[in-house]
């Protein structure tokens, strides 16, 4: 298959994977917050969220992840010199972190399925922002490639992410007072 066709498929499945991750964590937040409802309503909503989470995870998110990795690997096989480029090493490091994020989300889903609520909705909101940072960092690394500015961009995005998380925590503390 032509390199550009493989690249297009890779991008399509990256978009699908992120869409699944973003919506999945949003479902987790709703699932957690549903537990604050009256018992009967919480039970009904909880069961519905379990169904939605399972379908989203196994029909969209995980297949998109697998296909993203497959087409990304295919591109590297077609152009093995990518592995000699420093930006690709940085990108692949973030992809590994994204894969870890994916499987932590799967663990959260399995915990919720067992009615084990270990995360708060605020923690999950912060968790969701981490996926956004991965997306932004990976896209900038790929687009800027060998220019030195991607290093500054990566550091800047992490700094913004940390600042965002601190701001959310401070806001929550102020709101409680």
pLDDT at 73: 98
- What percentage of the chain has pLDDT greater than the value 70? 94
Q: Where are the alpha helices (DSSP H) in 79-145?
A: 86-113, 121-144
pLDDT at position 64 over 90:
yes
CA–CA separation, 121 and 39 (whole Å): 18
Categorize the per-residue pLDDT at 170 as very low, low, confident or very high, splitting at 50, 70 and 90: confident
pLDDT at position 154 over 90:
no
- Domain spans of the chain? 3-176
Phi and psi based region of residue 38 (left: phi greater than 0; alpha: psi -120 to 50; beta: remaining): beta
Categorize the per-residue pLDDT at 175 as very low, low, confident or very high, splitting at 50, 70 and 90: low
Lowest mean pLDDT of 5-19, 70-84, 151-165, name the range: 151-165
pLDDT at 148: 59
pLDDT at 150: 60
Angle between helices 86-113 and 149-176 (to 10 degrees): 30
pLDDT at 146: 67
Rounded to 5°, angle at Cα 157 from 28 and 100:
45
Q: Give residue-wise pLDDT tens across range 95-111.
A: 999 999 999 999 999 99
pLDDT at 169: 76
CA–CA separation, 177 and 174 (whole Å): 5
Mean per-residue pLDDT, 146-170: 73
Q: How many CA atoms lie within 13 A of 64 on its CB side?
A: 17
């Amino acid at each position: 298959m032509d390199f550009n066709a493989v690249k297009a498929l890779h991008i399509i499945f990256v978009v699908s994977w992120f869409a699944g991750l973003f919506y999945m964590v949003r479902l987790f937040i709703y699932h957690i917050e549903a537990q604050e409802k009256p018992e009967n309503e919480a039970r009904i909503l909880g069961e519905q969220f379990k169904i939605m989470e399972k379908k989203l995870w196994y029909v969209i998110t995980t297949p998109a992840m697998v296909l993203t990795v497959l087409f990304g690997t295919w591109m590297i096989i077609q152009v093995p010199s990518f592995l000699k480029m420093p930006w690709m090493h940085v990108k692949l490091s973030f992809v590994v972190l994204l894969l870890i994020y994916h499987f932590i989300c799967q663990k959260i889903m399995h915990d919720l399925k067992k009615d084990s609520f270990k995360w708060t909705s605020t923690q999950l909101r912060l968790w969701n922002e981490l996926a956004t940072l991965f997306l932004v960092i990976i896209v900038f690394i790929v687009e800027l490639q060998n220019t030195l500015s991607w290093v500054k961009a990566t550091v800047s995005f992490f700094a913004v992410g940390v600042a965002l998380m601190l701001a959310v925590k401070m806001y929550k503390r102020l709101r409680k007072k």
